[in-house]
Structure 1
Amino acid sequence: MSETTSQNQLPLPNAFAGSYFLQVWRNTSQTLSPESKHEFDEDGEESPTTLDTVNSSGGFSMVGPDKLSVSYANVNLHGHDVGVVQANRAAPMKRLVYYFEISVKNAGAKGQIAIGFTTPTFKLRRQPGWEANSYGYHGDDGLIYRGCGKGETFGPTFSTGDTVGGGINYAKQQFFFTKNGAIVGTVCKDIKGPVFPTVAVHSQSEEITVNFGKDPFVFDLKAYEANHRSRQQIDINKISVPQDAGYEIVRSYLQHNGYEETLKLFDMASKSTVPPISLVSEIGCGEEDSVYALNQRRTLRQLIRCGRVDDAFAKIQEWYPQIIQDDASIICFLLHCQKFVELVRGGKLEEAILYGRREFHKFKISSDFDDLVKDCAALLAYEQPHKSSVGYLLLDSQRELVADAVNAMILSTNPHTKNSRRNILSSLEMLIRQLAACFLEKRSLNGDQGEGFHLHRILESGKK
């Protein structure tokens, strides 16, 4: 019996796949909206933007209206007459490196300017580094102070016209400091909790400005990060992975997602160099499972990626009617939403309104769809919807999401499938998820410090 003529006797696909892709859509909307990017890094942490003008060291420092400049307005009479100012937020911890800079506009009477990091409970009448759990690089003597009043030989002094930076390398658990674009030195970071970028002035007429990243840094931070990652990559490259294992993982990815033509070319290119192997025991599925409905899945993916949702509906009705027999199901919702988006993309706004009124009403019985229906409808409110907060719906990635959902639902109709959750992700994608989980576990063990695994960064770096 042929694959297409036996579909009516197959069990209905379970709803797990649909729910999964519904959540992926929500995650995408939160990640790509402009509001989610404001003053946040890629892990959702707020970054310092200005100096804190609420908690200050009394009258010994004066913060300018821009909240990025500090001056010492008085004459210091005592050693504790320090003008100390912290940033308005702690340094973000879920990244590879954090860094900020100060520019010395005037070294003043004694040049007792300092840059460093302090904890939330730090006494704001002391130089950074003079108290426990604080670090400071001081301009008058070039010493590094690490939690006590006695400094250690570290680097050169700095004065008027110099730009000095302070950073945290979370991978190495080190503070590092720079002068005029060059690294001065590093010290071990013994503090596990949050720390605040901190600056201090301590003698008459001293004046500095602070740059939290709004303007380009003098220090080449991107080159520093790239150098560190290249060293990590060298260590990774030393790990031996059998060629045939990598071949089969890539092959299973192409099979899972229905990339039939690419699969054929991949097999042809690899036939003479890589012997085929079976990873059934490793990944839990065999060749029969992975090639199930390969041609149909390829066709449907191509139709959806081209925006031909009506044609995709027709093919699904012909080949796998049980997937869409419940017209209020999640997979029908995803397809109807994509059809609505395609009408907006094509400028057919009146037709989109009529289509939305006709198709979306059936999903009102469940609140699970409300927020996503609103996102779709919001496209009509903008003259340039691709530049709006819901512009992500017009990206090719949204078409891919719907195509992935349809692909997973078809795989779930395979009567030989033992684990329906394996229909959602290929072996390669599961390996990447496992890698991401390992990075997060490593970060957790390190006091929630350090970056997670970001595949897009690795892919982008490979293009350079």
Structure 2
Amino acid sequence: MDLDPRQYENVVCFFFPAINDNDIHSVVLSYLIHNCYKESVESFITSTGTKQPADYLEDMDKRKRIFHFALEGNALKAIELTEQLAQDILEKNKDLQFDLLSLHFVELVCSRKCTEALEFAQTKLGPFGKEPKYMEKLEDFMALLAYKEPEKSPMFHLLSLEYRQQVADSLNRAILAHLNLPRYTAMERLIQQATVVRQCLSQEAGKVMGVAYEI
């Protein structure tokens, strides 16, 4: 059941007080910084007169390079730069380490370097097989070697840009957390809050309708 927008008015005002230009600027700036749009950040600050958050900008260039290397599938370079910027971060986040190593494995498979891919899997990915939670993923990646055209296999999604984007986003969030910066943008947090409010309103509306039917 879709709710009458008027039902949101009082609740929205409670959770989201009146928004001024400074609030909007902060939301936009948070998004630009999170995604490493340095030129856009500088232009936005100049045009709006917003205060420059120096601590956020300090490592943006490094994060941007790391993000793009991961997105392009050059995982080994992304790992190298990550260890320079945030030492031990991957040792403390095995899931992320596995995902980055898997990107390199996928690049070897796509380049038809199957022997090299197998050796890499045995030495770098194999140790993860000691933990049950990685077994299914490992099986999916290894299955790619069985196809002459892995992009046409049932595991084709592992070769996709969407998968690389997911890993790159996770890496970016992990680095932000390591630098004591927000893992999520203000825009994302607002959307999450709005979603929770809508769910609560829907539940309350359901209860009201239930009582009405009983009457």
The alpha carbon displacement at 1:289 in A equals 4.7
Give the unaligned 5+ runs of structure 1.
Answer: 1-169, 174-239, 279-286, 449-464
Q: 1:351 aligns with which of 116, 119, 122?
A: 116
- The CA deviation at 1:350 is 2.9
Q: Point out the structure with the larger helix share.
A: 2
Q: Give CA deviations for 1:145-184 in whole Å, capped at 9, x if unaligned.
A: xxxxxxxxxxxxxxxxxxxxxxxxx3269xxxxxxxxxxx
Q: Within 5 Å, which residues of 2 pair with 1:46-445?
A: 170-171=1-2, 241-268=19-46, 271=47, 274-276=48-50, 287-324=53-90, 326=91, 329-414=94-179, 417=180, 423-445=182-204
Match of 2:212 in 1: none
Could you say what secondary structure the match of 1:372 adopts? helix
Quick one: distance in 1 between partners of 2:176 and 2:28? 18
Query: Which is higher, the Rg of structure 1 or of structure 2?
Result: 1
Identity %: 25
- 1:298: Cα distance to partner? 1.1
Equivalent pair of 2:100/2:167 in contact (CA under 8 Å): yes
Q: How many residues align?
A: 197
| TM, length-normalised to structure 1 | 0.37
Alignment-mate amino acid for residue 303 of structure 1: F
Asked whether the equivalents of residues 260 and 295 of structure 1 are also in contact (C-alpha less than 8 Å), the reply is: yes
Could you give the per-residue CA deviations for residues 122-152 of structure 1, whole angstroms, max 9, x where no partner exists? xxxxxxxxxxxxxxxxxxxxxxxxxxxxxxx
**CA apart distance, 1:407:** 2.0
Following the alignment from structure 1 to structure 2, what is the Cα–Cα distance between the partners of residues 438 and 375? 39
Q: Deviations over 1:78-117 (max 9, x none)?
A: xxxxxxxxxxxxxxxxxxxxxxxxxxxxxxxxxxxxxxxx
Q: Root-mean-square deviation (CA), in Å?
A: 3.2
CA distance in 1, matches of 2:40, 2:139: 37
Shift in Å, 1:249: 0.7
Q: Given that residues 256 and 291 in structure 1 are in contact (C-alpha distance below 8 angstroms), is that contact kept between their aligned partners in structure 2?
A: no
Mapped partners of 1:307, 1:249: distance in 2: 30
1:333–1:363 CA contact under 8 A, matched in 2: yes
CA drift at 1:310? 1.9
Secondary structure, in 3 states, of the residue corresponding to 1:171? Answer: coil
Q: Distance in 2 between matches of 1:248 and 1:328?
A: 30
Quote how far apart the aligned CAs of 1:328 are.
8.0
- The aligned counterpart of 2:14 is none
Distance 2:20 2:92 in 1: 47
From the superposition, tell whether residues 393 and 439 of structure 1 become closer, same or farther in structure 2 (CA, over 3 Å): farther
CA-CA distance at 1:309 after TM superposition: 1.4
Cα distance change on mapping 1:261 and 1:343 into 2, 3 Å: farther
Distance (whole Å) between structure 1 residues aligned to residue 78 and residue 193 of structure 2: 33
TM (norm. structure 2) is 0.74
In terms of fraction of residues, the more strand-rich structure is 1
CA deviation vs aligned residue, 1:272-324 (integer Å, no higher than 9, x gap)? xx34269xxxxxxxx35533421211111121122211222222333333224
Q: Judging changes above 3 Å, is the alpha-carbon distance between structure 1 residues 384 and 431 closer, same or farther for their aligned structure 2 residues?
A: farther
User: Which residue identity is paired with 1:412?
Assistant: A
Partner of 2:11: none
Q: Which amino acid aligns with 2:168?
A: A
Separation in structure 1 between the aligned mates of residue 79 and residue 33 of structure 2, nearest angstrom: 22
Quick one: higher RCO (CA 8 Å, sep 6+), 1 or 2? 2
Secondary structure, in 3 states, of the residue corresponding to 1:321? coil
Please say if residues 76 and 101 of structure 2, whose CA atoms lie closer than 8 Å, have aligned partners that are also in contact.
no
Within 2, Cα distance between the matches of 1:433 and 1:342? 35
